[in-house]
Amino acid sequence: MNKSNDEYKKYVERHAVPSPIVSNCVKAFLVGGTICCMGQVLFLLYKNVLEMSEINARALVSATLIFGAILLTGFDVFDDIAKFGGAGTLVPITGFANAVVAPALDTKAEGWILGVGAKLFTISGPVILYGTLASAVYGTVYYIVMLIMR
Amino acid sequence: MDIFLGCLKAFIVGGIFCVISQVLIDKTKFTPARILVGYVVMGVILTAIGIYEPIVKFAGAGATVPLTGFGYTLAKGVEKAVDEIGILGVLSGGITATATGITAAIVFGFIAALVFPSHPKK
Amino acid sequence: MRKIIKFKNKPKILSSASVVGKKENRGPLSKYFDIHDETDKFGQKTFEQAESEMQRLALNLALSKIKTPQKNIEAVFAGDLMNQCTGSSYGLASFGIPYFGLYGACSTAAEGLILSGMTVNSGIYEKVACLSSSHNSSAERQFRFPLEYGNQRPPTAQWTATAAAAFIIGKEDTEEFKSYACLAEALAGKIIDKGISDANNMGAAMAPAAADTILRFFSQNKHSPEDFDLIVTGDLGYEGHSICKEILADEGLKLGDNFNDCGKLIFDKETQDTHSGGSGCGCSASVTAGYIMEGFKNGIFRDVLLVGTGALMSPMSIQQGLSIAGIGHLIRISAVDKNEE
């Protein structure tokens, strides 16, 4: 009771049951690896069988995985896989897709404009914002470097 | 055999990306949203300094499917656009290259919202 | 010295009722709850409206158990976690009972019982009602993530219970029904902030507040912890409860097996995947209204201390990085025929 806030914080951190980090990592590796492996199979399929360019095949792989993740979210299965796989479902594009659709499903009652329309981006919005921002910064640097080098 | 090897590489590299994030979540209490943002920005930076391209060459989908791959696509798109149309490419390149993914997520996400309800947590 | 409130006129708990969701109904206390719904929606369109409906059902049932019309209730003290207490105000609007909306986070049930006790004991009111509720789905949406969002919860995280409970507190028994328990003493909690800002470890944020109230209670009277059949905290969960126990032990107050936590009681840790245990306004409310009141009825409990714990924060305060303050309101519930100070 007489502990200072810092002492109490340290005590609480020591006391806390730690996350089962080793088993979490193994699961994340297996689930994430499997999703990427599926991506590779699809990529080869699109490239070799449908004879698409690498860039287009890659884009279609993303779209396919996004579609799959959204379907699984709709059927109330994705959160179970994510509970098991942790970062294994978060880091692949599937995590982004889930982040888009989950708030959309949830906010229908708040209307199509300020509910679904606005909340669709609550988690994925920052990803698009900072990703685009980073690309614009890189583009500017790249442009200047190219000017100098020419 | 090539297919198998390609898949194995994708599996291992993709898996490693996920493990790094898992360690960050469990050890530093990073929220998932921060991880996502961090990965995309990291992807742009690693591509910019030339590290990510070789990883993509090596691991294929193992490097393009994780969100760092999203950053890679953004960076490659902006490079290509700047090469082709100059300074305007800075503004158009990133989003153009990633348009398929973003639009797919928005369109499928919206359709899903029309069709499915959300369920209580189990 | 802030003294213990002694209810000399022993306000009686005339009736209590509990309404829970699917997961709570699968838990170890299932048989003590009155109403449950397998869909968690209670026939409503949204989970928020479902929470209101749960309060309505709880009050209706508590009234009908003692065949008392709602016009005999002079005031209702109620609260919940949803934005600006909408669970209570929408759920109780149709009753037309003068309404006091409370916000004590998850300590609301204990806070309401204390206020009910004070107003009935002093003779201001003859009969009042006290309610609180929480709904896992409405709380997830407000405080955490969308329901279908896939994430892993750390071991210290708690599970907001889908539960509502109502109590009717009155001066005298009705003619037909005899009550078993009454409110004997109370001690209001202080807001205590020990700098914990991890929203996934609420137990640790609230434990010092609960410990403070318990220490102040035992330092002011002759009771020892063994005098009570049960000393139960609201929703510290496994993590917070064990911290609270250690704090008390450090201060020289050793609590034994009669020290428990509603958040630990309501779910089965092994099979229900609830991590550190239950939480939410409805957690301590429904455990008290169901399990503890049944204990008084069967004579298993004669004297119980409930320390309703609450984490005083909002999604805004968490986003701004502020630490989470806790509170612990203590109420002593005794058997009606127990005669001692």
Digit-coded pLDDT (tens) for A17-63 = 999 999 999 999 999 999 999 999 999 999 999 999 999 999 999 99
* Confidence at residue B1, expressed as pLDDT on a 0 to 100 scale: 67
Does some domain include residue C178?
A: no
Mean of pLDDT values over C299-314:
97
CA B84 to CA B86: how far, in whole Å?
Answer: 6
State which residue of chain A sits closest to B40, comparing Cα positions: A131
The alpha-carbon gap from A4 to the nearest alpha carbon of chain B, in Å, equals 23
Number of A–C residue contacts, CB under 8 Å: 100
Q: What percent of chain C shows pLDDT beyond 90?
A: 96
> Which chain A residues are within 8 Å of B77, Cβ to Cβ?
135
Q: Does one domain contain both C155 and C198?
A: no
> Which chain C residues are within 8 Å of B122, Cβ to Cβ?
23, 273
CB within 8 Å: A83 and C151:
yes
State which residue of chain A sits closest to B24, comparing Cα positions: A87
pTM for this predicted structure: 0.95
pLDDT, one tens digit per residue, over C52-96 is 999 999 999 999 999 999 999 999 999 999 999 999 999 999 999
Mean of pLDDT values over C122-131:
97
pLDDT, one tens digit per residue, over C146-160 is 999 999 999 999 999
Handedness of CA C283, C285, C289, C295 (dihedral sign): positive
The mean of the pLDDT values for chain C is 96
Domain that holds residue C303: 183-335
Is A5 an 8 Å CB contact of chain C? Answer: yes
Question: Is the pLDDT score of A150 beyond 90?
Answer: no
Q: Does one domain contain both C200 and C163?
A: no
Q: Does one domain contain both C311 and C212?
A: yes
Assembly ipTM: 0.94
Mean of pLDDT values over C249-266:
96
Domain closes at, from C149, C170, C191: C170
Q: Does one domain contain both C196 and C300?
A: yes
Residue bearing tokens 């994780």: B66
For residue C257, CA distances in Å to A103, C232, C254, C260, C328 come to: 43, 11, 10, 7, 20
Does some domain include residue A87?
A: yes
Is C140 an 8 Å CB contact of chain B? Answer: yes
What domain count does chain C have? 2
Banded model confidence at residue C340, pLDDT cuts 50, 70, 90: low
* Contact status, residue C120 vs residue C173, Cβ threshold 8 Å: no
What domain count does chain A have? 1
Q: Residue C59: what residue type?
A: L
CATH number for C42: 3.40.47.40
Domain that holds residue A33: 5-119
* Confidence at residue C173, expressed as pLDDT on a 0 to 100 scale: 92
The alpha-carbon gap from A10 to the nearest alpha carbon of chain C, in Å, equals 10
Say which residues have a Cβ less than 8 Å from residue C144's Cβ, sequence separation at least 6: none
CA A57 to CA A126: how far, in whole Å?
Answer: 26
Mean of pLDDT values over C171-184:
93
> Which chain B residues are within 8 Å of C22, Cβ to Cβ?
120
Domain closes at, from C170, C201, C229: C170
C216 three-class SS: helix
CA distance between the termini of chain B: 42
Which among C149, C193, C239 has CB closest to A17?
Answer: C239
Q: Does one domain contain both C159 and C221?
A: no
Mean of pLDDT values over C105-134:
97
* Confidence at residue C175, expressed as pLDDT on a 0 to 100 scale: 86
Which among B44, B102, B112 has CB closest to A101?
Answer: B112
pLDDT tens, per residue, chain B with 122 residues: 688 999 999 999 999 999 999 999 999 878 899 999 999 999 999 999 999 999 999 999 999 999 999 999 999 999 999 999 999 999 999 999 999 999 999 999 999 999 999 999 98
Banded model confidence at residue C1, pLDDT cuts 50, 70, 90: low
Q: What percent of chain C shows pLDDT beyond 70?
A: 99
CB within 8 Å: B65 and A76:
no
Which among B22, B100, B115 has CB closest to A74?
Answer: B115
* Confidence at residue B2, expressed as pLDDT on a 0 to 100 scale: 82
Q: What percent of chain A shows pLDDT beyond 90?
A: 97
Which among B26, B32, B118 has CB closest to C148?
Answer: B118
| Token output for B72 | 């890679």
Does some domain include residue C254?
A: yes
Q: Does one domain contain both C251 and C315?
A: yes
The alpha-carbon gap from A113 to the nearest alpha carbon of chain B, in Å, equals 12
List the subunits that have 3+ CB pairs under 8 angstroms with A.
B, C
Count Cβ atoms below 10 Å from residue C123 Cβ, excluding itself.
9
Q: Does one domain contain both C158 and C213?
A: no
* Confidence at residue C279, expressed as pLDDT on a 0 to 100 scale: 97
CA C124 to CA C291: how far, in whole Å?
Answer: 30
Does some domain include residue A139?
A: no
E-assigned strands of chain C?
A: 5-6, 12-20, 35-36, 75-80, 99-102, 127-134, 159-160, 163-170, 181-187, 230-233, 259-261, 278-279, 303-312, 325-335
CA C295 to CA C228: how far, in whole Å?
Answer: 13
CB within 8 Å: B120 and C200:
no
State which residue of chain A sits closest to C138, comparing Cα positions: A106
Q: Residue B78: what residue type?
A: V
pLDDT, one tens digit per residue, over A74-121 is 999 999 999 999 999 999 999 999 999 999 999 999 999 999 999 999
Domain closes at, from C129, C146, C170: C170
Question: Is the pLDDT score of A64 beyond 80?
Answer: yes
> Which chain B residues are within 8 Å of A96, Cβ to Cβ?
36, 67, 70, 101, 105
CB within 8 Å: C204 and A89:
no
Mean of pLDDT values over C306-321:
96
Does some domain include residue A124?
A: no
Q: Does one domain contain both C95 and C202?
A: no
Does some domain include residue A48?
A: yes
